[in-house]
Structure 1
Amino acid sequence: MSLATDAADQPTLYKRIRDDIEKRILTGEWPPGHRIPFEHELVARYGCSRMTVNKALSELAQADLIERRRRAGSFVRRPQHQSAVLKIADIRAEITALGRAYGYELIHRRQRTATAADRDRLGVQKAGKVVAITCRHSADKVPFAIEDRLIDLSSVPDAATADFSREPPGSWLLHHVPWTEAEHTISAIVADERTADALAITVGAPCLVIDRYTWRSARTITAVRLLYPGDSHRLVARFKGG
């Protein structure tokens, strides 16, 4: 194809390229994190100029369907997720509500006498028993959040025999243990090697952190830290004036 022909057909051709890539993304053929063919590969595939390809990719980036990384190429963007700050959400229900397939993996579960660090985290004085749990939640097989949780067995004795290999601890607690008070602390960190590996992100990438504590009649039920990839999750709260 000549440059003159490409220039004449550019308005239609760049739209065709954009629509083709958009269709592959929206149908799931190219899932979140998938690398889009490099510009020179798209030039060869569609028989057009690099300018035409660049315009199509720019529009897809503006629509938040792809992200362009210098020297690395273009990748399908992970969907933005919204969480309510002022309520305790069930991550499984949250992912399902987004129309995505929920996945769960129990990474670690241990029952032990509370350490000094455990007591400090739970805000308790006595060295009772706790269940320590680390698990991963995913959406469409993409890591969504890492959960690090302590459950105080003096407040929730049934947690000692609950099968957290099948049911996420957050879901189990919401359905079995009533709470009267909760607190959220929201912060941000950069991913260390362990976190980056668990969330399938790069070391040093930003992570959203939610530390949550729940009580029942002044007795601690659980303390949990949730880690989310910072580029694919946001918190939204809407308020009404009195």
Structure 2
Amino acid sequence: RVFQYFASIAAAGGSAKKDANKGTLEDQIIQANPALEAFGNAKTVRNDNSSRFGKFIRIHFGTSGKLSSADIETYLLEKSRVTFQLKSERNYHIFFQILSNAKPELLDMLLITNNPYDYPYISQGEVTVASINDSEELMATDNAFDVLGFTPEEKMGVYKLTGAIMHYGNMKFKQKQREEQAEPDGSEAADKSAYLMGLNSADLLKGLCHPRVKVGNEYVTKGQGVDQVYYSLGALAKSVYEKMF
């Protein structure tokens, strides 16, 4: 309602200026909400569309007193939800919007199926919400990106990172015989996630199993056990999602 209020003020300020590649200012103010909710809202025990982050809205006015621009700062995103959900809760809406198959080309591009149970990071809790139509919400999110002025490359980049996180949950590791060192147990999921992120899968796996750490003024390679690798993988997924958000 805050967005709608300021959008109405902007619209009342005179003729709306519209960029050829994006919507008017009032359109952008309103359409910020679907994009933020897709990536920052989720079902909880008490609320089907609970905001899992804080936001600070800064409104800018021109010399005439009319709204000239607005920006939003987000903070305290609930990163743990990216890799873990309670039984009666759900991961962020965007994952299920993509899997709704409203845009089949996304499934092909992200190398995923439309079955959420194929992806452990997003299927520990609920996978559907009766009050939410994920197909319709995906179209609203996709339209919001366009109105906000995302280029096709930027929009696809966001979707690809989201898909990569789903593949992270399928990466498997095992312990080397007679060593306290983890090694990949297959590379299919790593290949898919690395492809979507524009990385080399061998480098991704090496970074997880043999990370470089700074000791003094030098970097050294550190071995990791299976539990440590899974912890690092979860931390990577949460970090990627937070930075994307």
TM-score over 0.5 for the pair? no
Larger radius of gyration: 1
TM-score band by shorter chain is under 0.3
Structure showing the higher strand proportion among its residues: 1
Q: TM-score, normalised by structure 2?
A: 0.27
Q: TM-score, normalised by structure 1?
A: 0.27
Structure showing the higher helix proportion among its residues: 2
